[in-house]
């Protein structure tokens, strides 16, 4: 399904969207969805080569694109990135906090530094991005979308670090929605399930593991990056003007099945 079939191709032509971690995976899919409806899109990440490739894919959609190398753990770098985006594309109207780090590791084998790294990228990085973009979002009465995960509300084996970070993101979103609503800023989260082509799915390479994963999803298939992008565009659109502080789960119903089958698949990895 093309999002342009449901949204006019230039409906976001006056919007500037900033996607952290936008060089690949779900976040690139989100960036492409915004570009497909006419938004000017900025992406940031730590790898210049990956950003250059993503920028080329986005420019092919016919909109203005700006890419900047920045680590979300570095607040000053994000401040500079936001200032640069303002000059290049105009004030930020929509911020997608998608930069994340993750790996599979039992908690008893994880170093304190490894745990801290994921929290720093996911949770601290999300706060850094929202704080750095605040003044521009206030000016535009903008929208913030934080990319969360099922680990935020359900324990997943080998995922203590990601669960703690994503649970923090969910609470941060609600607090910012409460505090920033007075400025016309809306803040929501999206919870993707297993998405085709992402690093998390690639780690489950054994066919038996993949089968077990699919068995835990009522719709019996993996999601697509653009399906998360469609949720993002909806939440930024006037149709969602009264939605803030909310969590939108887009996981094919996986949350209804619990985490037992996922845990079995991981433990057999």
Exactly one of 148, 216, 236, 259 is catalytic; which is it? Answer: 148
Strands (E), 48-158: 65-69, 94-97, 143-147
**Model confidence over 148-181: pLDDT tens digits?**
999 999 999 999 999 999 999 999 999 999 999 9
Whether residue 233 has pLDDT greater than 70: yes
Question: Could you tell me the pLDDT band of residue 269, with boundaries at 50, 70 and 90?
Answer: low
Q: What is the mean pLDDT of residues 219-242?
A: 96
SS3 of residue 243 by DSSP: coil
For the chain, give percent helix, strand, coil, nearest 5.
50, 15, 35
pLDDT value, residue 197: 83
Cross-strand partners of 188: 145
34-77 pLDDT, tens digit per residue, is 999 999 999 999 999 999 999 999 999 999 999 999 999 999 99
Print burial letters for 142-175: b (CB count within 10 Å at least 16), e (below 16): bbbbbbbbbbbeeebbbbbbbbbbbbbbbebbbe
Residue 190's pLDDT band, with cuts at 50, 70 and 90, is very high
Residue among 166, 216, 236, 259 flagged as catalytic: 166
Known catalytic residue at 166: yes
Active site annotation includes 4: no
Which of the four pLDDT bands, split at 50, 70 and 90, describes residue 122?
very high
Q: Output the six-digit token pair for 30.
A: 């989100």
CA 226 to chain centre: 12
**Residue recorded with tokens 């019996």:** 220
What is the rounded average pLDDT of the residues 1-11?
A: 80
pLDDT at 204 over 70: no
DSSP state of 250: E
Right CATH for 8-201+224-253 from 3.65.10.10, 3.40.50.720, 3.40.1000.10, 3.40.50.1370? 3.40.50.720
Strand duo 186-192 + 143-147: pairing = parallel
pLDDT at position 265 = 65
205 — pLDDT class (breaks 50, 70, 90): low
**Contact (Cβ atoms closer than 8 angstroms) between residue 75 and residue 128:** yes
- Rg of the chain over all Cα atoms, to the nearest angstrom: 18
Mean pLDDT, residues 12-28 taken together: 97
**Domain spans of the chain, in order of start:** 8-201+224-253
Please indicate whether residue 141 or residue 10 has the higher confidence score (pLDDT). Answer: 141
The pLDDT of residue 186 is above 70: yes
The pLDDT > 90 percentage for the chain reads 81
Lowest mean pLDDT among 6-15, 129-138, 178-187, 242-251: 6-15
Are 187 and 175 in contact by the 8 Å Cβ rule? The answer is: no
Residue with tokens 């900025």: 42
What is the average pLDDT value for the chain, to the nearest integer? 93
Q: Which residues pair with 140 in a beta bridge?
A: none
* CA torsion, ordered 59, 18, 43, 29, to nearest 10 deg: -70
| Centroid of chain to Cα 42 | 14
Model confidence pLDDT, tens digit, residues 79-89 = 999 999 999 99
């Amino acid at each position: 399904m093309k999002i342009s079939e449901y949204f006019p191709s230039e409906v976001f032509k006056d919007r500037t969207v900033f996607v952290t971690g936008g060089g690949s995976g779900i976040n690139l899919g989100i960036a492409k969805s915004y570009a497909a409806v006419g938004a000017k899109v900025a992406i940031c990440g730590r790898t210049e080569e990956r950003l250059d490739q993503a920028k080329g894919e986005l420019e092919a959609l016919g909109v203005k694109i700006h890419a900047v190398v920045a680590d979300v753990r570095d607040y000053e770098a994000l401040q500079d990135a936001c200032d640069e985006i303002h000059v290049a594309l105009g004030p930020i109207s929509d911020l997608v906090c998608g930069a994340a780090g993750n790996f599979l590791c039992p908690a008893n084998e994880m170093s304190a530094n490894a745990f801290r790294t994921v929290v720093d990228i996911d949770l601290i990085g999300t706060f850094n991005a929202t704080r750095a973009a605040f003044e521009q979002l206030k000016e535009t009465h903008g929208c913030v979308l934080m990319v969360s995960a099922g680990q935020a509300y359900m324990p997943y084996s080998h995922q203590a670090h990601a669960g703690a970070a994503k649970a923090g993101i969910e609470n941060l979103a609600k607090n910012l929605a409460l505090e920033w609503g007075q400025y016309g800023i809306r803040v929501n989260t999206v919870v993707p399930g297993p998405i085709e082509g992402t690093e998390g799915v690639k780690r489950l390479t054994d066919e038996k593991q993949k089968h077990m994963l699919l068995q835990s999803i009522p719709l019996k298939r993996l999601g697509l990056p653009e399906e998360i992008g469609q949720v993002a565009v909806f939440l930024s659109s006037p149709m969602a003007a009264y939605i803030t502080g909310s969590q939108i789960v887009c996981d094919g119903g996986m949350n209804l099945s619990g985490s037992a089958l996922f845990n079995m698949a991981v433990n057999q990895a």
